[in-house]
Structure 1
Amino acid sequence: MQECHFILLGATGDLAMRKIFPALFRASQAGLKPSICACAKSPLSTPEFLDKLNTRAQEYIKSLDPSAWEDFSANISYTPLDLTRLEDFKALQATHPNTIIYFSIAPEFFAKACQNLAAVGLNTPNIKIVLEKPLGTDLKSCQEICQEIGQHFKEEQIYRIDHYLGKQSVHNLFYLRHNNPFLAGLLGANYLDHVQVSVLETLGVESRGGFYDPMGALRDMLQNHMLQILALSTIPANIPIERTRQAKLEILKSLKPLSRAALKSQVVRGQYIAGGGLKGYTEEEQVNHNSQTETFVALKLELDHPSWQGVPFYLRTGKRMGISLVQVVFVFKGPPQALVYTIQPQCSLELQLQGMGALKSTLDSGMDAYERLILEVVAGNQAPFNHQDELEAAWSFVDPILQSWHENLTPLLPYTVGSFGPQAAFDLLHQDNREWFAHV
């Protein structure tokens, strides 16, 4: 039985209710024994908060065992807390040597919260903090946030969450390459023609328009999740697992900057328009009616890395796509044949060889991503979390793309709900005599 004290800032928010509390409950069923101090601005008593939490638990936890939930919620207390008021932080205590403070709050409050935590002594070496993305909207703002946090907490105390790194299905790809010399030998410049990474969603922005409109697909999905998938797909297969974090950093630093010409010819951005009875992006709740925010991005990039010289990578992500899919496709040289690794909706590995059809195996997707990441924080394992240097390397690659969009180098192209993006996304591969993998 592992014990910890869990202080959750932003406990009444959607993320806390939908993801964090269910993950903590599942972790408690697997042997974790957390005492939880839930904090938010709402002036609630503990019973009032638990009433609210119990209602949401019925919605988000399948086959909820009432007795198990009662045992779990008995260890939850609620403390009203204004993130900007130092006085409120004096009510918090580190009641266990393994104390975790989870920032389920907007990043603009990170610095103030860290300052107030430090002022009441809640930044001692035994305390860990967990930060949700996004950390900044560009390289400069990312560095500023990290610098402010770093004034109060050391790097080894900081766990920056990318929930994709908690998915067992994402890590399965690395483990397959790490433990399978056959695959390790094939996945590199000697045998590969190119690699495709697709993250497609049938959902639109739904009720997240207020968050999404200032961000867009490039910041919300490609800069973090997709570049992390790319890194895990390409790090050397023979490295020790404990060096995974450093190996990912080396890959991210090897991203070749896009020239001004490439920013015009190798980047596509789009925005969904109404179709099939569904709204267009600019008709969504909390979205500017004249918004130029992209809901689709496709681009071609290369790595300046010995194992991947000359191998192009094609990345695409979009909302309101024809299907929901997260997939990495390694396309081999010669006749059309590929190794297809699907992360969502069902984790699977498929080898397509000319004349042999497809050999497909379904893989275990493992535990929920947030549950796994919380257990990794408790254990003090930082490998599945982003280092500051990784964030900065990713932003260094993405910043010139954002700047080129401010200069209107890349037009914002419409695409209909239920399609697979603008025609320009297909032309991106057609101009190289390639095409997107037929995933349906």
Structure 2
Amino acid sequence: MVSRVIPVDPFDLVIFGGTGDLARRKILPGLYRRFVAGQMPADSRIIGAARGELDDAGFQKMVAEAIAEFVPAERQDKAAIKAFLERVGYVSIDAKGTGGWDALKSRMRENVVRAFYFSVAPALFGDLAERLHAHGIADAWSRIVVEKPFGRDLASAKALNAVLAEHFDEHQIYRIDHYLGKETVQNLMAVRFANILFEPLWKAEYIDHVQITVAETVGVEGRGAYYDKSGAMRDMVQNHLMQLLCLIAMEPPYHFDPDAVRDEKLKVIRALDPVKPEDIVRGQYLPGGGQGGYVEHSEDPASRTESYIALKCHISNWRWKNTPFYLRTGKRLRARASEIAITFKEPPHSIFDDAQGWRENVLVIRLQPNEGMNLMMMIKEPGPGGMRLMQVPLDMSFADALGAEAEDIPDAYERLIMDVIRGNQTLFMRGDEVEAAWAWADPIIAGWEARGDRPQGYDPGSSGPEDALMLMHRDGRRWREIKG
């Protein structure tokens, strides 16, 4: 199997917040990898823009250090790094004032794609958008990339969308969610819509339930004060898990076209039922393992913000009526793992002895670690002695299937930035999607705030609060084990 690398058009990419953590960890190392892969044209330019007083050489030194730290040693090449750095520049900019904007304009070239990555706090989005136009830097073909959070409720999301819409059309705005850039997430669409095998079974008649899990082993130490203003519902469920749910549940679009795909995702969000209070479990991790608990890390002993949430939701449409979707995410859990598990119903009649322990078919899509898919199936246990059944996986790991080529698969940020340059919005959220997601999430948050609910404590290294287990047990189901 040979992967194809299709170069994009020449571009000028300006990274506002170019000296920040996201730029150092993900954006700049990812662009270097795309340059090495031959996808970034030699005459493209990357311009860092931030408050710091740096020159080109100083910023290039920072970029080189980021590559050294965040790109595996075997993927680093001195000649390639040197060539990449020659395409990197820097402008000191005042996002709320006039300083640096003329200098930035002088760096921009004609007849290339112009993209502007807002790797800054959302409070600065409006200022940057306004100044890009006021100084004649952005034109009708320019693109902006905005990082989450896209607001913290429906009202703020609408206000943010309105600010951006004052200066850019919707087709120019790329709201980035790195989960949608993962190879396995995109393969989910291929599995569903390019194979007759699954799509006829992809409905309530054959699927018992769906589990979506995003588990992390890290806590919120170092950014607790920031995280305490959002919590797991705002930070993860309303965006990352919602997008995964949409890809699982959406109807086939008429074409693999950005708006066609996003139209179908929007229908899913709007079909979500309100979530009942008894179908929500919230938790905070306790001290353990020589580390403090959530309340210590948040610096608020009275905090009621959740570091864990599990909930059951339903989609009121013909395809999914009465099929529950169970979502959970949390910090300081047993392992770092993200997966989607589609559990199929048992056969209507079994010809085998029930004592043989039939187990359900499950399609598991692993997002991290070790991206891939497996399908749990029942087969005959090898050997004599009659018909004994056992469950085995039909496993496809990208690392195993692609071998050395798996190392060349772009990570989420690499893929999404290249999609921005191509002008492909399929994997980016549209404004009405964001607002619909908040319209669903807001009443859930308002409900527990009105009730004064406190999150339940859970031990670090566990699978979460005990009540989360009961959320499944009362339905005669159980969570899949969290394992890396």
Q: Is the 8 A contact 2:206 2:344 kept in 1?
A: yes
3-state DSSP of counterpart to 2:246: helix
Letter aligned with residue 268 of structure 2: I
3-state DSSP of counterpart to 1:323: coil
Letter aligned with residue 60 of structure 1: F
Taking structure 2 as the reference length, the TM-score comes to: 0.87
Question: Within 2, Cα distance between the matches of 1:160 and 1:52?
Answer: 26
Rg: which structure is higher? 2
Q: Is the 8 A contact 1:123 1:153 kept in 2?
A: no
Q: Is the 8 A contact 1:268 1:299 kept in 2?
A: yes
1:240-259 equivalent positions in 2, closer than 5 A: 240-242=255-257, 243-258=260-275
3-state DSSP of counterpart to 2:342: strand
Offset from partner CA, 1:368-404 (integer Å, 9 cap, x none): 1111001101111000100001101111111011111
Letter aligned with residue 42 of structure 1: G
3-state DSSP of counterpart to 1:328: strand
Q: Is the 8 A contact 1:132 1:160 kept in 2?
A: yes
Name which of 364, 371, 379 aligns with 1:347. 371
Q: Is the 8 A contact 2:283 2:307 kept in 1?
A: yes
Letter aligned with residue 71 of structure 2: I
Question: Within 1, Cα distance between the matches of 2:54 and 2:302?
Answer: 39
Aligned to 1:207: 222
State the number of aligned residues: 435
Shift of 1:429: 0.9
Name which of 87, 103, 109 aligns with 1:95. 109
Shift of 1:215: 1.1
Aligned to 2:355: none
Aligned to 1:438: 481
Question: Within 2, Cα distance between the matches of 1:256 and 1:116?
Answer: 41
Question: Within 1, Cα distance between the matches of 2:268 and 2:395?
Answer: 28
Q: Is the 8 A contact 1:283 1:289 kept in 2?
A: yes
Question: Within 1, Cα distance between the matches of 2:443 and 2:302?
Answer: 24
Offset from partner CA, 1:146-171 (integer Å, 9 cap, x none): 10110000001111100001111111
Aligned to 1:318: 330
Q: Is the 8 A contact 1:7 1:36 kept in 2?
A: yes
Indicate the RMSD between aligned Cα atoms, in angstroms.
Answer: 1.6
> Within the alignment, does 1:41 sit opposite 2:57 as a pair?
no
1:215-364 equivalent positions in 2, closer than 5 A: 215-237=230-252, 239-242=254-257, 243-258=260-275, 262-263=276-277, 265-284=278-297, 287-334=299-346, 336-337=359-360, 338-354=362-378, 355-364=389-398
Q: Is the 8 A contact 1:184 1:237 kept in 2?
A: no
3-state DSSP of counterpart to 1:32: coil
Shift of 1:213: 1.7
> Within the alignment, does 1:10 sit opposite 2:17 as a pair?
yes
3-state DSSP of counterpart to 2:179: helix
Q: Is the 8 A contact 1:348 1:360 kept in 2?
A: no
Offset from partner CA, 1:184-204 (integer Å, 9 cap, x none): 122211101111111111111
Letter aligned with residue 102 of structure 2: K
Q: Is the 8 A contact 1:189 1:307 kept in 2?
A: yes
Letter aligned with residue 32 of structure 1: M
Offset from partner CA, 1:249-295 (integer Å, 9 cap, x none): 1111111123xxx12x01111000111222211222x6434322110
3-state DSSP of counterpart to 2:302: coil
1:70-89 equivalent positions in 2, closer than 5 A: 70-89=82-101
Letter aligned with residue 224 of structure 1: N
Offset from partner CA, 1:49-85 (integer Å, 9 cap, x none): 2222222221111121121011001111111111101
Question: Within 2, Cα distance between the matches of 1:419 and 1:249?
Answer: 34
Q: Is the 8 A contact 1:278 1:417 kept in 2?
A: no
Q: Is the 8 A contact 2:253 2:261 kept in 1?
A: no
Taking structure 1 as the reference length, the TM-score comes to: 0.95
Q: Is the 8 A contact 1:41 1:81 kept in 2?
A: yes
Question: Within 2, Cα distance between the matches of 1:251 and 1:161?
Answer: 20
Aligned to 2:211: 196
Name which of 396, 403, 414 aligns with 2:446. 403
**Range with bigger deviation, 92-101 or 205-214:** 205-214
Q: Is the 8 A contact 2:28 2:66 kept in 1?
A: no
Gaps of 5+ in 1: none
Shift of 1:356: 3.8
Aligned to 1:60: 70
Question: Within 2, Cα distance between the matches of 1:214 and 1:415?
Answer: 20
Shift of 1:238: 6.5
Offset from partner CA, 1:326-359 (integer Å, 9 cap, x none): 1111112235412222211112322223434122
Q: Is the 8 A contact 1:10 1:105 kept in 2?
A: yes
Question: Within 2, Cα distance between the matches of 1:288 and 1:95?
Answer: 49
Letter aligned with residue 85 of structure 2: S
Offset from partner CA, 1:15-72 (integer Å, 9 cap, x none): 0011000111111123213201110001112212222222222111112112101100
Letter aligned with residue 95 of structure 1: R
Aligned to 1:162: 177
Question: Within 2, Cα distance between the matches of 1:59 and 1:201?
Answer: 22
Letter aligned with residue 281 of structure 1: Y
Identity among equivalent positions (%) equals 37
Aligned to 1:133: 148
3-state DSSP of counterpart to 1:29: helix
Letter aligned with residue 219 of structure 1: R
Shift of 1:87: 3.9
Question: Within 1, Cα distance between the matches of 2:425 and 2:195?
Answer: 25
Q: Is the 8 A contact 2:284 2:455 kept in 1?
A: yes
**Range with bigger deviation, 206-215 or 41-50:** 206-215
Q: Is the 8 A contact 1:346 1:362 kept in 2?
A: no
3-state DSSP of counterpart to 2:451: coil
